[in-house]
Structure 1
Amino acid sequence: MNTPFKLSTLFILITANCFAQNNPAPSTTNNSSYKIQTVHIQSRWAENVDTTNALNEYPRPQLQRDSWQNLNGLWEYAITDSTAAIPNSFQGKILVPYPIESVLSGVKKALMPDQRLWYRKIIQRPALLQNDHIILNFGAVDWQTTVFINKKQVGQHTGGYQNFSFDVTNFLQPGNNEIIVKVYDPTDQGPNPHGKQVLYPETIYYTASSGIWQTVWLEKVESTHISSLKTTPDIDKGTLAIVIDIAGHPENNSSLDIIVSTNGKVINTLQIPASQQQVNSTIYIPNVQLWSPDSPFLYDLSIRLKKGKKITDEVKSYFGMRKIDIQKDQKGADRIFLNNKYMFNLGTLDQGFWPEGLYTAPTDEALSFDIKAIKSLGFNTIRKHIKIEPERWYYHADKIGILVWQDFVNPPQDLPPGSRVIFEKEVQETMEQLHNHPSITTWVLFNERWGAYDQERLTKWIKKNDPSRLVNGHSGELLYVNDELRAPADDPWISSDLTDVHSYPEPRNAPPQRNKARVVGEFGGIGVSVPGHEWDDMRGWGYVQVTPAELKAQYIKMTEQLKQLEKEGLTASIYTQPFDVEGEENGLLTYDRKIIKIPVDEIRSLNKELVPLTDGFTLDPNFIIAANIDTGDNDNRYQELLVEYKNTLHNDSTFLRRLTLMAIRKKDQENATLVGNSYIDILKQPFSKENLDFIIAITRTSKDIGFNFCLKKPEKVDSVLGEFSAMRKVKKIIYNEEIAPYYKNHPNWETIQQKVTTLFGSLGEECVLGWRMIYYGFEVKDWENYGKYYVLYFKKSMNHYPEYHINNLTWILFEHSKNIGELTFATNVMKHIIDKNIDRSAEGYDTYANLLHRTNNSNEAIQWEEKALALKKGAPDEKLFAETLQKMKAGLPTWPQNN
């Protein structure tokens, strides 16, 4: 595998041979039933995906066999509630291995935490000899997987990023066999590491990827076979340590042949006994050729398991000879050294999301493209951020030659019960799964304190488990935004190999600490929107939003800063980020990988000031990264496009959508309404989720079509966007148009209420009542009217989603009202929001308890105040709650005595 680096397509092309050809899985689906779902933007590779070629490359290059069968393709699927048994019928077809939320799956549905996702596929049992076994392999399934064959449970696996296997030989019957896969994925609502996936995506968090998201395949092996392989290079000694695990029961005459070769030429062999289930050995590598980004040299490795002279199993692999550690440079500064030489780690933060596949790249070529593109730009490092990629991604990284800082996927930030055990289990499995890849040089334990705990213990544990790599115990434990330090840590980077700060937008140096290299683990975040290439054109985000010309100027400035910081001791930098991801538009390329925001040659020219562009960075003339951005195509064209709109009968939805957003950004509401209504008029499905999201977002006035949708068809809007979505939009516009202009100038509330009720009915009246309550309580301190309108408002709105903070409003009433009827009503309001789980905070319980106490229900009040105090245990204001409880028990007032 010692091909020199060229930015061209690199694959392991392994045919499925007679295993698949002689034992095809019978089709249970009609291919014509599958089609990619609608998506705003998609990469160039998505159009190449069909039901016959879904990631058909061998998925495990570090332990590959010839005898295998790919099970990717169309499966049946069903979504049920959490209590359902194996379903008798299925709802449709899904293309495996694309997550069910993705458009490439053909489904594009969210999986809720109280639901279960089921897959079904019919396969034929392969022809088996006496000692043959069939292994069912899964690259990754998010999060908890239960596998059944012919309705019998085979096994269960928990973990969304780790591969797993089951020996299914004894579950298979001659002829057809039914595979059922059950998946539970709570995404960000459970104890599981979920990375940046959330059920409801927002600025820096993204759409979830549930279910099967990596390749599923079968392998035929003998009962005694090689189950795992671990290789660790030592360049100083010129050796490779090898640990081989053997499944089954190796006999006394069993042995292992270890064969190292390059370009088909054997350079060393070793034969060792294999009478135990784990074999440890070391093989000498003569005239070691080192692996690095400058020269990503890989050796081929074959392992043969033999019984006597008969080969019973053979796996093929590869390895790279490299060393990573912290050493002192000539001036005594601690630096990152690769192969005993200083190398500045110039990296970028890669998140591994795709517009059409989410967690899953559409094709293997797309998977390798990201790495090639990053190296083409002159970077020598990728920080793989809060995601574990498929094995083939790391194969491409090994082959192309790039250093990888691998983040672990953090536990939930609130560390619910069980989350720590789950996290540590997945960290252990991740290290075992990825150990053999020379590209991975650094483990990143925690990021910006997300779910961080026991940092010293865990950092030491990782280092003990894998001393061959650096450990970044906490990336960004000091986080600076616009030079302001957020939440400084008491003892950052304890036991870590690196001191790591995050600094947005401009880079800064980490503090020096003995025997630790100084790095800026994230910086940049410069946002540039590119019309027509945005995931969500309503919410593009970056730490700084600039034009393309300004981005280039910023990048030049930051490169100069990095050069100076390197002189001062900085040894690595990670730029955020190579590609836009959903609402984040701070990539050097757009999310669809079609537009680059600074020309390739200009980025390379700047980056080479920190990383020399050696032969390992030679550009392949056939490799095209992306088209250059049109620097003139921005909001400065607004008047030009507006004239075009008014002079032309436009039915181009892309044009109208873009012009609507331009008008909103220019604060030209009259034309925003005009163009926006034209856009809505040509939509064939205005009540689809995608279209309605946009319609509601651009609805700003009562003249917008979206306002009438919400006012006249609220049930239809709510069925798509969620309960009370229509009501919230209508009330906001009523306030802006009919109340806000008069609110600060002694409003004539009776006139306003009559007008709004006439125009908008009961919902309009409710809106005015709410604002009358707010006005009397917060503007003029008229407590008599405040109490009156508190009651009138909540009588109408009690069963609606609260638009105000009910507990705060009720506490004001408690403090200022003497009316026992109002206080009793307020008690019922608080009981209602507690029962409905709208507010179960200590403060909510406290308000309810105080109202009970004041309305002569002190025994019940004491019980609720005890609940509030329990929630406040250890909090700074715990004492205040304790004092309130003591007053209740003593029969003393807890309300102001001037009332």
Structure 2
Amino acid sequence: MIKKITCWIALVFLVFPTFSQQHNWQPKKDKILSEWAINIDPNAPLPEYPRPQMSRENWTNLNGIWKYTIIEKGSTEPENFQGDILVPYAIESALSGVGQTVSKDQELWYHRSFEVDRGMRKGNLLLHFGAVDWEAEVFINGKSVGMHQGGYDPFSFEISEALVSGRKQQLSIRVWDPTDEGPQPRGKQINKPHGIWYTPVTGIWQTVWLEAVPDQYISHIKNTADLDNKQISVETQVNDPQPGQMITVRLFTNGELLDEKEVPAGESTIFSIDNPNIWGPDNPFLYDIEARLMDGRKQLDAVKSYTAMRKISMKPDAYGNQRLLLNDKFLFQYGPLDQGWWPDGLYTAPTEEALVYDIDKTKEMGFNMIRKHVKVEPARWYYHCDKIGMLVWQDMPSGDMGNRWEARPGVVGKGTERKRSPESMAIFKKEWKAIMDANYNFPSIIVWVPFNEAWGQFNTEEIVKWTVEYDPSRLVNGASGGNYTLEGQIMDMHNYPDPVMPDPKIWGHHQIIVLGEYGGLGLPIEGHTWQNKDNWGYQSFKDKDALRERYSKLIQDLKPLIPMGLSAAIYTQTTDVEVETNGLMTYDRKVSKLEPQFLKQLHKELYTIKIPMK
């Protein structure tokens, strides 16, 4: 095994020397790497258009080699930098080429130059960030153009007024991230990683890009499907709309124009569809949308988007237990807890191929749902879930933890609320709304999860009620495995390793009953672990045969809970993550611990159980 590891390190040195010579960049190799690491082009990492729900043609990707430095918090913009960093990989990651942590008393500064040609100076020039963790202030040619707080939502600034004459411009970014020493949402990041808590992620971790738009342009698009009335609503917002300007919206099916409507800028467009093609795991059909801003016969702006006709709802079965319905039919939802971490990129998948791999593999294993756990993915991840028909339960990243959680097998937890400061509460509410707004258009997202296991859980009824009212097109799992509330539509408990459920006689008539986490069967695979020893799972095994037998038993024990009232279950987890070795795949994704076809056949048994409905 030592010989294999040595060969892999030698391969990395053979593949990366030209990158190192040209850019002084190569990935840190003190930890395992995924197979996609060798495919990264440092001149153009993650080159794909980052916003598939609102795409334009005139854009420039700014990913690549930047300069960085770490200095004392509160310092002015530095004149000199420590070295190169590959954006958009967090500075702590191997793929950044740095692999260094940043304390709460320090700030991370980025710098690069970019060029703006004459064509991009007409109208407005938008500088976009997919995500930066956590506080980012952006400078163009030394002038601050804006500051953003939030590690999981996209943001942008209009930078035209800060440009100087000539093509070459200077871009600097100041980042501050206190990780687990601040009040902000941070998911599973911690300054001293151990157990289920992982390496910090500081700074830029999603694509940075420029987009040229006219003075009046489409600034937002919101697509809503109404299956009951067979309608699709398209709502656009326009920056600085002028009298008489109109929005033309076209709806396409399989590339053919289905309908076209024109409305005044800012008004909603409603399409009626006689025979809608309904989206689901077995039929991930998407309607394409094109919106154009018109001033008379002149087209000012155009964006492309898409939507799907789907519905998520609840209804009692013949025994009075509330059931989770997709498109008015009961479908038992079963999926893995997906942390979305990578051994080389941490929060950031090395390549687009890597990003898609996890989703495809989950589908191949016979799951129909993914719970995205206390992390938000780049927009392209949800895009691929939309395309493949993968259902998504989306968590809010946790933060400001410290309150108590009480739970026993078969009983939903009731503990203490976290007493957060006004600043902490405001940060949570602002970022949760921003996350919901940014990801509203993705039909794959069917459930919002604001709290997990009482991690920072506060003002539960207020937060859950607001979430339900803010987005009635989805269901809300108010406290996954945490301190329960009758607000929201879902009652969720966690139990390791065996499947259990809350008493349906108590809860089933009020809320949908789900098992939000269970399993956690561990199997470390030599040569594919984050560290050589002291790896763990909730229940560990020595070989694949033992793991296979125990997993089969979990499924057999899960099946009788479904007719009793259980509507969904989530197995921990998709991959190993750092010292956790309870993944269905290793952290580097090179080994599947259980054969996908074996899992698919086993999971089919969960979907064929018939539930009589009222």
Match of 1:574 among 565, 570, 574: 570
Match of 1:502 among 474, 478, 494: 494
Partner in structure 1 of residue 35 of structure 2: 44
Residues 462-510 of structure 1 show CA distances to partners (whole Å, capped at 9, x for unaligned) of 0100001010011102xxxxxxxxxxx5xx2321211111010001012
Letter of the 1:445 counterpart? P
Aligned length: 568
Hey, what's the Cα distance between the residues in 1 that align with 2:425 and 2:495?
28
Residue ranges of structure 2 left out of the alignment (5+ in a row)? 1-19, 403-418, 610-614
Partner in structure 2 of residue 422 of structure 1: 427
> Which TM-score applies when normalising by structure 1?
0.62
Partner in structure 2 of residue 454 of structure 1: 459
Partner in structure 1 of residue 447 of structure 2: 442
How much has 1:130 moved relative to structure 2?
7.5
Aligned partners of 1:378 and 1:611 also within 8 Å: no
Match of 1:184 among 176, 180, 201: 176
Partner in structure 2 of residue 382 of structure 1: 370
Structure 1 counterpart SS, 2:461? helix
Over 6 Å off, 4+ runs: none
How much has 1:128 moved relative to structure 2?
3.6
Residues 165-185 of structure 1 show CA distances to partners (whole Å, capped at 9, x for unaligned) of 000011112221100000000
Partner in structure 1 of residue 194 of structure 2: 202
Residues 777-818 of structure 1 show CA distances to partners (whole Å, capped at 9, x for unaligned) of xxxxxxxxxxxxxxxxxxxxxxxxxxxxxxxxxxxxxxxxxx
Instruction: Tell me, yes or no, if structure 1 residue 560 matches structure 2 residue 556.
Output: yes
How much has 1:132 moved relative to structure 2?
1.9
Hey, what's the Cα distance between the residues in 1 that align with 2:102 and 2:147?
19
How much has 1:50 moved relative to structure 2?
2.4
Hey, what's the Cα distance between the residues in 1 that align with 2:255 and 2:337?
37
Distance 1:306 1:602, change over 3 A: same
- Give identity over the alignment, percent: 45
Aligned partners of 1:268 and 1:285 also within 8 Å: no
Partner in structure 2 of residue 595 of structure 1: 591
Hey, what's the Cα distance between the residues in 1 that align with 2:267 and 2:448?
26
Aligned partners of 2:31 and 2:344 also within 8 Å: no
Structure 2 counterpart SS, 1:493? coil
Instruction: Tell me, yes or no, if structure 1 residue 221 matches structure 2 residue 213.
Output: yes
Aligned partners of 1:78 and 1:90 also within 8 Å: yes
Structure 1 counterpart SS, 2:448? strand
Partner in structure 1 of residue 356 of structure 2: 368
RMSD: 1.4
Match of 2:468 among 463, 472, 476: 463
Structure 2 counterpart SS, 1:306? strand
Hey, what's the Cα distance between the residues in 2 that align with 1:154 and 1:202?
38
Match of 2:346 among 355, 358, 368: 358
Hey, what's the Cα distance between the residues in 2 that align with 1:113 and 1:263?
51
Q: Give the structure with the larger strand fraction.
A: 2
Hey, what's the Cα distance between the residues in 2 that align with 1:39 and 1:375?
32
Partner in structure 1 of residue 238 of structure 2: 246
Hey, what's the Cα distance between the residues in 1 that align with 2:472 and 2:264?
27
Distance 1:506 1:92, change over 3 A: same
Partner in structure 2 of residue 540 of structure 1: 535
Correspondence 1:650-689 to 2 at 5 A = none
How much has 1:599 moved relative to structure 2?
1.4
How much has 1:330 moved relative to structure 2?
3.7
Match of 1:161 among 152, 159, 180: 152
Hey, what's the Cα distance between the residues in 2 that align with 1:131 and 1:87?
31
Residues 523-574 of structure 1 show CA distances to partners (whole Å, capped at 9, x for unaligned) of 0011111101000122211111112222111111110111100021111000
Aligned partners of 2:376 and 2:397 also within 8 Å: yes
Match of 1:110 among 101, 106, 117: 101
**Rg comparison, structure with higher value:** 1
Correspondence 1:384-423 to 2 at 5 A = 384-414=372-402, 417=421, 418-423=423-428
Larger relative contact order (C-alpha < 8 A, sep ≥ 6)?
2
Hey, what's the Cα distance between the residues in 1 that align with 2:451 and 2:364?
29
Aligned partners of 2:23 and 2:84 also within 8 Å: no
Hey, what's the Cα distance between the residues in 2 that align with 1:30 and 1:282?
56
How much has 1:396 moved relative to structure 2?
0.6
Hey, what's the Cα distance between the residues in 2 that align with 1:52 and 1:611?
46
Hey, what's the Cα distance between the residues in 2 that align with 1:441 and 1:369?
22
How much has 1:253 moved relative to structure 2?
2.0
Partner in structure 1 of residue 163 of structure 2: 172
Structure 1 counterpart SS, 2:495? strand
Partner in structure 1 of residue 88 of structure 2: 97
How much has 1:583 moved relative to structure 2?
0.5
Structure 1 counterpart SS, 2:451? coil
Correspondence 1:17-96 to 2 at 5 A = 31-96=22-87
Hey, what's the Cα distance between the residues in 2 that align with 1:308 and 1:393?
38
How much has 1:598 moved relative to structure 2?
1.3
Partner in structure 2 of residue 526 of structure 1: 521
Hey, what's the Cα distance between the residues in 2 that align with 1:52 and 1:189?
35
Hey, what's the Cα distance between the residues in 2 that align with 1:510 and 1:169?
57
How much has 1:332 moved relative to structure 2?
3.2
Partner in structure 2 of residue 893 of structure 1: none
Hey, what's the Cα distance between the residues in 2 that align with 1:602 and 1:188?
40
Aligned partners of 1:225 and 1:313 also within 8 Å: yes
Partner in structure 1 of residue 415 of structure 2: none
Aligned partners of 1:197 and 1:206 also within 8 Å: yes
How much has 1:131 moved relative to structure 2?
4.6
Residue ranges of structure 1 left out of the alignment (5+ in a row)? 1-28, 478-488, 614-899
How much has 1:286 moved relative to structure 2?
3.4
Match of 1:605 among 588, 594, 601: 601
Partner in structure 1 of residue 17 of structure 2: none
Letter of the 1:224 counterpart? Q
Hey, what's the Cα distance between the residues in 2 that align with 1:254 and 1:149?
32
Hey, what's the Cα distance between the residues in 2 that align with 1:130 and 1:255?
24
Letter of the 1:31 counterpart? Q
